[in-house]
Amino acid sequence: MTTVSLASSRSVRLQQGTGRGPGVLLIAGVFALALVFGVGFAWSRTELVHAAMKTGELRREERSLEMREKELLTEISALKNPARIERDARKRLGLMPRSPAQVLQVKPEIMRRVFGEPAKEDS
């Protein structure tokens, strides 16, 4: 406690701070800092969980697309199968293998006379 004398011979006592002011401010600062770090940590964990979920979704989609690719490659292989093509040609289009009587052989000189000389390809 500090005593101050005034000219009128009265004493006025002034109380100095009890020491609690800076301590409370320090505690409030530490609390605020801890709160900021806590919120930042929680946010980063939330982002990590979201990223992990997205990664899982993308992996599932990748597996699904790989399976679809295998199915399509199998389908392409089946569609290119000569036996299947022949079967479909017979059933759907009514096509039959040609007989020797259906084959006409044209002599090269007749082809040249009708169509002209074949175009020369540039090498």
pLDDT in tens, 46-76: 999 999 999 999 999 999 999 999 999 999 9
Rounded to the nearest 10 degrees, the angle between the axes of helix 20-80 and helix 82-93 is 70
CB 11 within 8 A of CB 5: yes
Give me the residues paired with residue 28 across strands: none
Report how far residue 97's alpha carbon sits from residue 101's, in angstroms, rounded to the nearest whole number. 12
pLDDT of residue 58: 97
Q: What is the pTM of this model?
A: 0.47
- Structure confidence by residue, pLDDT tens digits, 1-47: 455 555 555 555 555 555 566 788 899 999 999 999 999 999 999 99
CA 118 to chain centre: 54
